[in-house]
Amino acid sequence: MLQINNLHANVGDKPILKGLTLSLNAGEIHAVMGPNGAGKSTLGYVLSGRPGYEVTEGSVTFNGQDLLALEPHERAAAGLFLGFQYPVEIPGVSNVQFLREALNAQRKYRGEAPLTGGEFLKVAREQAGALGMDMEMLKRPVNVGFSGGEKKRNEMVQMGIIDPALAILDETDSGLDIDALRTVGDGINRIMRKPDKAVLLITHYQRLLDYVKPDFVHVLDGGRITRTGGAELALELERDGYKELAA
Amino acid sequence: MTDDIEIKDKAAWDAAEKVADYEHGWSSDIETDFAPKGLNEDTVRFISAKKNEPEWMLEWRLKAFAMWKTMEAPDWAKLNVPPIDYQDAYYYAAPKAKPKLNSLEEVDPEILRVYEKLGIPIAEQKLLAGVEGGEDGGLPQRRVAVDAVFDSVSVATTFRAELERAGVIFRSISEAIKEYPDLVRKYLGKIVPMHDNYFATLNCAVFSDGTFVYIPEGVRCPMELSTYFRINAENTGQFERTLIVADKGSYVSYLEGCTAPMRDENQLHAAVVELVALDDAEIKYSTVQNWYPGDAEGKGGIYNFVTKRALCQGRNSKVSWTQVETGSAVTWKYPSCVLNGENSVGEFYSVAVTNNHQQADTGTKMIHNGKGSRSTIVSKGISAGHSNNTYRGLVRVAPNAEGVRNFTQCDSLLLGSLSGAHTVPYIEVRNPSAQIEHEATTSKISDDQMFYAMARGLNAEEAVALIVNGFAKEVLQQLPMEFAVEAQKLLGISLEGSVG
Ligand SMILES: Nc1ncnc2c1ncn2[C@@H]1O[C@H](COP(=O)(O)OP(=O)(O)O)[C@@H](O)[C@H]1O
Ligand SMILES: [Mg+2]
SS3 readout for chain B: CHHHHHHHHHHHHHHHHHHHHHHHCCCCCCCCEECCCCCCHHHHHHHHHHCCCCHHHHHHHHHHHHHHHCCCCCCCCCCCCCCCCCCCCECCEECCCCCCECCHHHCCHHHHHHHHHCCCCHHHHHHHHCECCHHHCCCCCCCEEEEEEECCEEEEECCHHHHHHHCCEEEEHHHHHHHCHHHHHHHCCCCCCCCCCHHHHHHHHHCCCEEEEEECCCCECCCEEEEEEECCCCCECECCEEEEEECCCCEEEEEEEEECCCCCCCEEECCEEEEEECCCCEEEEEEEEECCCCCCCCCCCEEEEEEEEEEECCCCCEEEEEEEECCCCEEEECCEEEECCCCCEEEEEEEEEECCCCEEEEEEEEEECCCCCEEEEEEEEEECCCCEEEEEEEEEECCCCCCCEEEEEEEEEECCCCCEEEEEEEEEECCCCCEEEEEEEEEECCHHHHHHHHHCCCCHHHHHHHHHHHHCHHHHCCCCHHHHHHHHHHHHHHCCCCCC
Percent of chain B with pLDDT over 70: 75
Residue A12 CB less than 6 A away from ligand 1: yes
Give the distance from residue A135's alpha carbon to the nearest chain B alpha carbon, in angstroms.
Answer: 20
Tell me whether residue B289 is exposed, middle or buried, using C-beta atoms within 10 angstroms of its C-beta: 0 to 12, 13 to 18, 19 or more. Answer: buried
Does any CB of chain B come closer than 8 Å to the CB of residue A48? yes
- For chain B, the first-to-last Cα distance in angstroms comes to 32
The Cα–Cα gap between B114 and B108 comes to 10
pLDDT band with cut points at 50, 70 and 90 for residue A42:
very high
The Cα–Cα gap between B60 and B55 comes to 9
Res B33: pLDDT: 62
Task: Taking residues B45-49, report their average pLDDT.
Answer: 90
Instruction: Tell me the average pLDDT of chain B.
Output: 80
Helix (H) or strand (E) run with residue A91 in it = strand A90-94
pLDDT band with cut points at 50, 70 and 90 for residue B10:
very low
The upper half-sphere exposure of residue B105, i.e. CA atoms within 13 Å in the direction of its Cβ, equals 2
Higher pLDDT, B293 or A93: A93
- A162–B474: do the CB atoms touch at under 8 Å? no
Residue A1 CB less than 6 A away from ligand 1: no
Task: Choose the closest CB to B457 out of A97, A102, A141.
Answer: A102
Percent of chain A with pLDDT over 90: 72
**For residue B127, pLDDT beyond 90:** no
**For residue B481, pLDDT beyond 80:** no
**For residue A8, pLDDT beyond 90:** yes
The residues on B that touch A, with CB distances below 8 Å, are: 446-449, 451-460, 462-463, 466-467, 469-474
pLDDT band with cut points at 50, 70 and 90 for residue B122:
low
Distance from residue B230's CA to the centre of ligand 2 (Å) = 54
Distance from residue A123's CA to the centre of ligand 2 (Å) = 30
CB–CB of B151/B231 below 8 Å? yes
Contacts (Cβ under 8 Å, ≥6 apart) of A191: A156, A159, A160, A163, A167
Closest chain A residue by Cα to residue B451:
A50
- Helix (H, G, I), strand (E, B), or coil: what is residue A39? coil
Q: Give me the residues of A, 128-187, that contact B with CB < 8 A.
A: 141, 158, 162
pLDDT band with cut points at 50, 70 and 90 for residue B3:
very low
- A109–B472: do the CB atoms touch at under 8 Å? no
Distance from residue A42's CA to the centre of ligand 2 (Å) = 7
Interface confidence (ipTM) of the complex: 0.96
Task: Taking residues B24-49, report their average pLDDT.
Answer: 66
The Cα–Cα gap between B430 and A177 comes to 56
Distance from residue A19's CA to the centre of ligand 1 (Å) = 16
Closest chain B residue by Cα to residue A94:
B470
CB–CB of A202/A179 below 8 Å? no
Contacts (Cβ under 8 Å, ≥6 apart) of B76: none
Residue A44 Cα: closest atom of ligand 1:
17
Res B482: pLDDT: 67
Give the distance from residue A247's alpha carbon to the nearest chain B alpha carbon, in angstroms.
Answer: 37
The angle at the Cα of A65, spanning A63 to A66, to the nearest 5 degrees, equals: 130
Res B102: pLDDT: 54
The whole model's pTM is what? 0.81
Contacts (Cβ under 8 Å, ≥6 apart) of A49: A68, A70, A71, A72, A75, B454, B455
Highest mean pLDDT among A129-133, A238-242, B123-127, B222-226: A129-133
By mean pLDDT, which of A136-150, A213-227, B284-298 is the weakest? B284-298
The angle at the Cα of B299, spanning B295 to B305, to the nearest 5 degrees, equals: 95
The Cα–Cα gap between B470 and B77 comes to 29
Helix (H) or strand (E) run with residue A183 in it = helix A178-192
Domains in chain A, CATH or no CATH each: 2-246 (3.40.50.300)
Residue A39 Cα: closest atom of ligand 1:
17
Does any CB of chain B come closer than 8 Å to the CB of residue A11? no
Residue A160: what residue type? G
pLDDT band with cut points at 50, 70 and 90 for residue B159:
low
Closest chain B residue by Cα to residue A155:
B456
**For residue B101, pLDDT beyond 80:** no
- A78-89 pLDDT per residue, tens: 999 999 999 999
Residue A37 CB less than 6 A away from ligand 1: yes
The angle at the Cα of B282, spanning B277 to B287, to the nearest 5 degrees, equals: 95
Q: Indicate the Cα dihedral angle B397, B398, B399, B404, nearest 10°.
A: -40
- A91–B471: do the CB atoms touch at under 8 Å? yes
Distance from residue B13's CA to the centre of ligand 1 (Å) = 69
- A88–B448: do the CB atoms touch at under 8 Å? yes
- A139-198 pLDDT per residue, tens: 999 999 998 889 999 999 999 999 999 999 999 988 888 888 899 999 999 999 999 999
**For residue B52, pLDDT beyond 80:** yes
Could you give the C-alpha distances from A39 to A169, B235, B454, in angstroms and in order?
A: 14, 62, 22
The Cα–Cα gap between B390 and B422 comes to 5
By mean pLDDT, which of A111-115, B108-112, B189-193, B424-428 is the weakest? B108-112
Residue A45 Cα: closest atom of ligand 1:
17
Probe ligand 1: pick from A7, A10, A13, A14, max atoms within 8 Å of CB?
A14
Q: Name the nearest CA neighbour of A138 among A93, A103, A95, A100.
A: A95
